[in-house]
Amino acid sequence: MYRESLKGQKIWILVGTRPDVIKQMPVYLACCDKFGRDKVALIGTGQHRDLLDQALDHFELRLNHDLNVMKPGGSLNELSAAILQGMELLLRDQTPDWLVVQGDTTSAAMASWAGFQNHVKVAHSEAGLRSYDLQNPYPEEANRRLISMVADLHFAPTEDAKNVLLAEGIDSDRVLLTGNPGIDALRMTLDMPESELSREIRERIEGDQLKLGLLTAHRRENKGEGMAQWFEALDRFLEQHTDLALIYPIHPNLAASEPAENFLASNPRVFMKSALTYAETCHLLECCQFVVTDSGGIQEEAAALGIPAVVCRKATERHEAIRAGLARLAGTHTDQVLEAMEWAYQTPRRKAKERFHPLFGDGYSANRIAEQLASRSEPHGQ
């Protein structure tokens, strides 16, 4: 557990989950360049303890302060209360110029609320995403709407997201179109050397002359019958397409453990791996023909690389990829998933004019965020 004095550190970057670290890492580094490393603090809640630490280690980052709130078997309310209490204790002692949160996690929502209650300015990266269904995704749709109510600056990843915030009555001066720092993280990670594990998997699949698909599954709202139907579709699709292999990084929350065991575990063309690192996932994604996912970040990364994505959810907040023909919303019903997978299987990967398709960002969003924070901060020493 880390405990350091936060005196003099005027920009607090909050992380609670692995996606938080991935998308906040470029922002943290850009802010360190802009303000000086001694002025920027990385605050962790510990919402996803193991995955948070894994991501921090990968990027060689160290928390300045760790709330360490996660307890085995704890409820969302218990988690929320622990984050609020932990942030309250921090904010009693120090007041940053900005508290920067990301996305729609419980950590981001509760830290934002604590900041608001203590008159601390909150900046929200990845602001303005909406599914307009409070149960899908749950609780993320409610979290991001709460953050939008209290944030002082809104960093929108797309024009759609910016227009949502403006339509909700937020002052245009507080809504900035920056792109999503998650694409920055993808760019930076793909520039790193490939790991031995991802190289072994890729070379084995290439040696067997198989096409590769990436599967991720973890959403609470899909657990149970929805996940079972979805995985039955995967099983049937693999039977019909013997030239296909799947890589499946198993999420620690084990929402898909039973259907994965029932439908995929015995198939030698399914590579089930416990918690691949972000870098391993990115390097394998880059050589995939398509992805099947209920994740938000994977939708963005696949679109950036021009890879068709089957989105196994009832609703998505990343409508841009669907309109661009890079993703299809399939739900979890077996027949609908099969139909969408056939579409993805038959759809060739779309090459971008530049390195990435710019739907969600060009890979340099964090610098824009740091510039905006600097232009709206008090001069050092005041």
Q: What token pair was written down for 114?
A: 């604590």
269 part of the active site: no
Contact 9, 64 (CB under 8 A): yes
Which is catalytic among the residues 20, 66, 97, 126? Answer: 126
Whole-number CA gyration radius for the chain: 20
Which is catalytic among the residues 18, 251, 313, 357? Answer: 251
196 part of the active site: no
CA nearest neighbour of 318 among 277, 357, 285, 269: 357
4 part of the active site: no
209: left (phi over 0), alpha (psi -120 to 50) or beta: left
Which is catalytic among the residues 66, 97, 140, 294? Answer: 140
CA nearest neighbour of 79 among 109, 99, 115: 109
Residue 310, exposed/middle/buried by CB under 10 A (0-12, 13-18, 19+)? Answer: buried
Coil, helix or strand for 120?
coil
What is the Cα–Cα distance from 357 to 40, expressed in whole angstroms? 31
Contact 154, 178 (CB under 8 A): no
Which is catalytic among the residues 20, 66, 104, 280? Answer: 104
Which is catalytic among the residues 48, 154, 187, 218? Answer: 218
What is the Cα–Cα distance from 325 to 156, expressed in whole angstroms? 22
| Residue ranges of E strands in the chain | 11-15, 40-44, 65-66, 98-102, 122-125, 153-156, 175-177, 211-216, 244-250, 270-274, 290-293, 309-311, 327-329
Half-sphere exposure of 128 (CA within 13 A, CB side): 30
List CB contacts of 16: < 8 A, sequence separation 6 or more: 44, 45, 46, 47, 48, 52, 83, 105, 106, 107, 108, 111
What is the Cα–Cα distance from 188 to 197, expressed in whole angstroms? 19
b/e for 208-220, b at 16 or more Cβ within 10 A?
Answer: eebbbbbbbbbbb
220 part of the active site: yes
Which is catalytic among the residues 220, 269, 349, 355? Answer: 220
b/e for 231-254, b at 16 or more Cβ within 10 A?
Answer: bbbbbbbbeebeebbbbbbbbeee
So which residues are the catalytic ones? Answer: 104, 126, 140, 218, 220, 251
